Amino acid sequence: MRLEYFQLIDRIVELDLTGRTIRTEATVPKTSTIFEGHFPGYPLMPGVLLIECMAQTSGWLIVALNRFERMPFLAAVKEAKLRTFVTPGQVLSGTAQLKHDGSGYAMTQARLEIGDKTVCEATLTFSVTPFPNPEMAQQMRETAKTIDFPLLGAPANG
Amino acid sequence: MSSTFDTIANIIAETCDIPRESIKPESHAINDLGIDSLDFLDIAFAIDKAFGIKLPLEQWTQEVNDGKATTDQYFVLKNLSARIDELVAAKGA
C-alpha cells in the first residue's frame, strides 16, 4: 500500500466471477507523509482512504467482470460506517460483492476487516464507462500484474 | 396490482423524497421533478429490481446525444412506463 499514490491494494486474494465477489489484502505502511498530518503524534489511516480502499477492491471486481474493457469511477457512497481506527502496519482484508450490474453503472457492497473485526463497510455506486483512453487501459493492466490479478489473458467467464 | 406508472412514481417519491402527489404521468423526471443523473441511477436500480429488467440507460443516452431521440421519449413518466412495459414483455417473450 502506498497511500500517497493511491495504491491501496497489495494483492488480490480471490476473485469469483460467478459469485461476483472479490477479496483483497493490503498492509498499511509504517511510515507515510500522510501520517505527518493525520495526525501529528497519533497516526491513523484517514477514513476517506478506507473508503477509497473499499472502492478499489470493488473496482477490480468490476474491471474483471467487464474484461478490462470498462473502467469504474466512484459515483456515490452510501451507509458508510468507519468502525475502528486503522494504524500503521495493520493488514486490511477487503471484500466486495456486486449487488447490481446496471446499464453504465454498478453497485457493490464492500467492507474492510482486520482479522475477524470489521473496520468499515459501505454501499458503493460506480459509473462504468469505456476507458477514456488506451493509455489508462494499459496502465490498469500493468497495475493488475503487480497485484496478482488472476485472470489476465484468461476467458472472462472463468 | 399497481400499474407500472404507480410503481415508478412510488420509487421516485421514496428515492428522491419528492411528494407522491406531485408525480404525474406527464412529469418529466429531469425537467419537472429535478432528478439529476446520479439520483436517477438509484431510481434505475430500484426499477431494475422491481421489474426484473435492465433499463438501457446507456443506449438511451446515446440516442439522445446523437439526436435520434428526445429526453421526453424516455424520461416523461408515461413514456418511461411504456418503455418498461416493452422491456418486461420482451423478457417474457
Q: How many domains does chain B have?
A: 1
Strand order in the sheet with A21-27: A11-16, A21-27, A91-101, A105-114, A117-130, A70-82
Segment A56-66 shows an average pLDDT of 97
**Euclidean distance between CA atoms A86 and A96, whole angstroms:** 19
pLDDT band at A158 (very low <50, low <70, confident <90, very high): very low
As a whole-number percent, the residues of chain B with pLDDT over 90 amount to 94
Domain locations along chain A: 3-138
Q: What is the CATH number that goes with domain A3-138? A: 3.10.129.10
CATH code of residue B41: 1.10.1200.10
Segment A74-79 shows an average pLDDT of 96
ipTM above 0.95, yes or no: no
Residues of A annotated as part of the active site = 38
> In this predicted structure, what is the pLDDT of residue B11?
97
Listed residue (A58, A62, A45) closest to A1, CA to CA:
A45
> In this predicted structure, what is the pLDDT of residue A152?
64
Instruction: Determine whether the interchain pair B41/A100 forms a contact, defined as Cβ–Cβ distance below 8 Å.
Output: no
> In this predicted structure, what is the pLDDT of residue B30?
93
Task: Specify the 3-state DSSP secondary structure of B46.
Answer: helix
Question: Mean pLDDT, consecutive 10-residue segments, chain B of 93 residues?
Answer: 89 96 96 93 96 95 95 96 96 81
Contacts of A74 in chain B (CB under 8 A): none
**Euclidean distance between CA atoms A65 and B21, whole angstroms:** 40
CB proximity list for B77: less than 8 A, separation 6 or greater: B5, B8, B9, B12, B23, B24, B25, B26, B27, B28, B29
Containing domain of residue B61, as a range?
4-92
pLDDT band at A157 (very low <50, low <70, confident <90, very high): very low
Which helix (H) or strand (E) segment holds residue B43: the answer is: helix B37-51
pLDDT band at A155 (very low <50, low <70, confident <90, very high): very low
Interface probe with B: pick from A103, A108, A129, most Cβ of B within 10 Å: A103
pLDDT tens, A87-142?
Answer: 999 999 999 999 999 999 999 999 999 999 999 999 999 999 999 999 999 999 99
**Euclidean distance between CA atoms A121 and A149, whole angstroms:** 23
Check if A105 contacts B (Cβ < 8 Å): yes
Cell 453497485 belongs to which residue? A107
